Amino acid sequence: MSRSLPPAVTVIGAGPAGLAAAECLAEAGCVVTIIERMRTPARKLLIAGRGGLNLTHSEPLPAFLANYGISQPWLAAAIAAFSPDDLRAWAEGLGQALFVGSSGRVFPRAMKASGLLRAWLARLAGLGVALRTGCAWEGWSEDGRLLLSGGLVPASDAILLALGGASWPWLGSDGGWAPLLAARGVALAPFRPANCGMKVAWSAQFSERFAGRPLKNVALSYGADVSRGDLILTKGGLEGGALYPLAASLRDAIERDGSAMLRVDLRPDQSCAALSAKLSRMRGRESLSNRMRKAVALPPESIHVVREALLMRAQSALPPEPAALAALIKGLELRLDGTAGLERAISTAGGIRRCAVDDRFMLHALPGVFVAGEMLDWEAPTGGYLLQASIATGRAAGSGVLAWLRDA
C-alpha cells in the first residue's frame, strides 16, 4: 500500500524493550511516540544497574541461547538477529566503554545504567522520537484508539506494547495489562516469580541475628544443576546471585511437591578430605564451633547455618568426628518451603503465550498490535540474559511492525 506520509507507531512502555523497538522503528523512518506511565523512563533498568549494569554475556551464542531453556526456540531468531556482540557494539556506539568480567559477564566501565540511558534517550530524541511520561495505558476506546489516563492517543498505523512483567511493581511493571489483553482473547500464562528468593524456616533467633549477612563463595546444587557465587541470608530465607540460576527448577519443585532440598557447599574450593584433615589437627578441648572457625575459616553466619540445618532435621548437636563435620560443611541440606513474593522477584515468568503471537511478534487476536520484552512468557537466569532478550525482542517486534506495514 502506498503512503504519502511516514507511518505512525505508538510504543507503550519505556523500558529496554520499548526503547529498543522505538529506535528500530525511528531509524526506518516511522513517526514514533513512546507512552510511559511513570514520570521517568526505564526506572527498573536504572535501579537494577546501580550496582553494575550487566548488559549481556560473552560466551558463544549456542551456550548463551541454552540459558533460555524451553523458550530458546521462540527467542533464538530474535537474539541471533541482535546478538550479544551486536548489543556490545550498540552500547559502545552510545559512547559506553565496556569490559568483560571474570565470569564472562559484560558491563559498562562506569558500572551504572544512567550514562547509557542518557545517551540512548538523546539518540532517540535525535531520531525524532516523542516521549510522553505520566500516562497510563487503560485499553482501547470504542472506536479502537488507545485509551490513556490523560485522554486518547491519535490513531496509529501500529501499536507496540512493551509493558514489562509483574515484578518490582513500584517501578512500573505490575502486570496490570494482563486483564486488558485477556479480555481481547490473548492467551496468557499465569505470572510466576523468576530469579527469586526462597523461603527457609529459620529460627527466630537466627533470623534476627543474621538477616542481611552474606555467605561468600558457596556452591549450590539441586539435582544435576550447580551454581557458585554468593548468597544473602534474609529474614525469611535466601536470595542472591548463586541462587538465581537454580530458582526456576526449585520453584517448579516447590509448586509440585511443597518443598525442595537445596544442597550447599560452604567450602567448594577444598575437598572433604582436606577439611577433615584440618579439623583433625585442632586440639580436643576446642569447641566444634571454634574448630570450624579456626581450622577452615568459616565465619559465624556459616557456622550458624550449619546449626540451623541440623535443627531442621531435629538434630541439636554437631557431629564430633572430623570426617562427619567436613561432610556436613561440604553437603549442607536446607529445606526450601516456598518462593519469595512476585513483587520481590528480579524477573517474571508467565505472560503472553507463544501461541498468541506470530513470528513477527504480532498478536493473532489483535492485528497491528505487537508485543515484546518481559510481557512474553519466557524466563532466564541473571547474567546478561534478561536484558539481552528484552532488547532483542524489542528490536524484533519493531522489525515485525515494519514488515507488517510493508505488506499492508
pTM of this structure: 0.93
Separation of alpha carbons 116 and 69, rounded Å: 29
Separation of alpha carbons 404 and 340, rounded Å: 41
Q: pLDDT: is 352 or 282 the higher one?
A: 352
Q: Where does 8-194+347-407 sit in CATH, by number?
A: 3.50.50.60
What rounded mean pLDDT belongs to the chain?
94
For 203-241, the pLDDT digits (tens) are 999 999 999 999 999 999 999 999 999 999 999 999 999
Q: Report pLDDT for 210.
A: 97
Separation of alpha carbons 399 and 25, rounded Å: 7
Task: Tell me: pLDDT of 25 over 90.
Answer: yes
- Single-letter code of the amino acid located at 363: L
Separation of alpha carbons 395 and 72, rounded Å: 17
Task: Tell me: pLDDT of 1 over 80.
Answer: no
Please compute the mean of the pLDDT values over residues 77-104 and round it to a whole number.
97
Contact status, residue 146 vs residue 137, Cβ threshold 8 Å: yes
Contacts of 257 (CB under 8 A, 6+ apart): none
Domain with CATH 3.50.50.60 in the chain: 8-194+347-407
Task: Determine whether 250 is exposed, middle or buried from the number of CB atoms within 10 Å of its CB (0-12, 13-18, 19+).
Answer: buried
For 133-189, the pLDDT digits (tens) are 999 999 988 888 889 987 777 789 999 999 999 998 998 889 999 999 999 999 999
Percent of the chain past pLDDT 90, that is, above it, reads: 86
CA geometry: angle at 325 spanning 320 and 328, to 5°?
A: 140
Q: State the residue for C-alpha cell 507463544.
A: 354
- Single-letter code of the amino acid located at 352: I
Percent of the chain past pLDDT 70, that is, above it, reads: 99
pLDDT class for 51, splitting at 50, 70, 90? confident
CA nearest to 164, candidates 47, 248, 72: 47
Task: Tell me: pLDDT of 2 over 60.
Answer: no
CA dihedral of 379, 381, 386, 389, whole degrees rounded to 10? -60
Low-confidence winner among 86-100, 278-292, 373-387 (lowest mean pLDDT): 278-292
Cα torsion 403, 146, 137, 3: sign:
positive
Q: Report pLDDT for 3.
A: 61
For 105-131, the pLDDT digits (tens) are 999 999 899 999 999 999 999 999 999
